Structure 1
Amino acid sequence: MTPPEAPAAQAGNTPPAVSVCLEVLKKRSDFLAAARARRQGTKGMMVQARHRGDDSDTIRVGFTCSKKVGNAVMRNRAKRRLRNVARQVLSHEGRAGWDYVLIGRADATIDRDFAALKTDLSSALKKLHSAS
């Protein structure tokens, strides 16, 4: 007996909430390498980006918020908003073979309008990639 998800997967549907090309950064060394590379600040977040130099077709992204953002509840809320923005923007405007780190800002990432956060990330990506 086949699971109920099998026919939908064979029909060519994409996974619901996660883009196929995005991977999450987990190693501290990857975050540190991105911190040494290009960065672009916006009102809602700081974006760090680096080209990995390999021929991978994946986009890797990491998220972080310092204690300046607030307590654990506020930091997690800020990271959730950054994850949603990354899913919607990086899957279209990010470049394969690049690592991106999105850093939440105190009093801005949580309170900023979601459409404005998307615009912030798009404009930061344009500035970061125009230098390359």
Structure 2
Amino acid sequence: MAKLSPPETLKRRAEFLALAARGKKLAKRGFVLQWREADGAAGLAELQAPPLRVGFTATKKLGNAVARNRARRRLREAVRLTCAGRDLRGLELVLICRQETAAMQFTELCAGLAAALPVLP
């Protein structure tokens, strides 16, 4: 079985802030999803569009570093599995962890993400 590669990640604070300022938002039980079209993606053919880029955020409200990292790992794996067969080129996503992220069943988390993806352009 072929290994599913993870999407590219957002790393700089400016990227997260730009997405929060100009992006759209959708709240789900286990996470908040923010998205926008990547800079320069408008008007490009689908094959020329930049690849999907994803960022993950877990605030200190979630708990200590172990709890925050666990929540981020769960969301990262849910994105890797859920976005595998979808063409989401030209988008930037940020998933913000909630308290429920660590406590939810993993299948519920993946189902919530799969339900949120059709909303994206």
Q: TM-score, normalised by structure 2?
A: 0.84
Match of 1:39 in 2: 25
Q: Measure, in 1, the Cα distance between the counterparts of 2:73 and 2:82.
A: 14
Aligned to 2:10: 25
How far residue 34 of structure 1 moved from its aligned partner, in angstroms, is 1.6
CA drift of 1:92 comes to: 2.5
Does residue 1:73 correspond to 2:70, yes or no? no
Deviations along 1:71-129, one digit per CA (max 9) or x if unpaired, are 110000000001100101123335101000111002x00000111101111112222x2
Does the aligned pair in 2 maintain the 1:40–1:47 contact within 8 Å?
yes
Q: Which runs of 4+ in 1 moved over 6 A?
A: none
Larger radius of gyration: 1
Aligned positions of 1:50-61 closer than 5 A? 50-52=36-38, 53-54=40-41, 55=44, 56-61=49-54
Partner of 1:3: none
Residues 93 and 125 in structure 1, CA contact (< 8 A), matched pair in contact too? no
2-structure distance, mates of 1:91, 1:28: 26
SS of residue matched to 1:103: strand
SS of equivalent to 2:95: strand
Residue in 1 that maps onto 2:111: 119
Asked if 1:110 corresponds to 2:110, the answer is: no
Show structure 2 runs of 5+ residues with no match.
none
Report the CA distance shift for 1:94/1:72 in structure 2 as closer, same or farther (over 3 A): farther
CA contact (8 A) 1:45 1:105 kept: yes
Is the Cα contact below 8 Å between 1:38 and 1:48 reproduced in 2?
yes
Gaps of 5+ in 1: 1-12
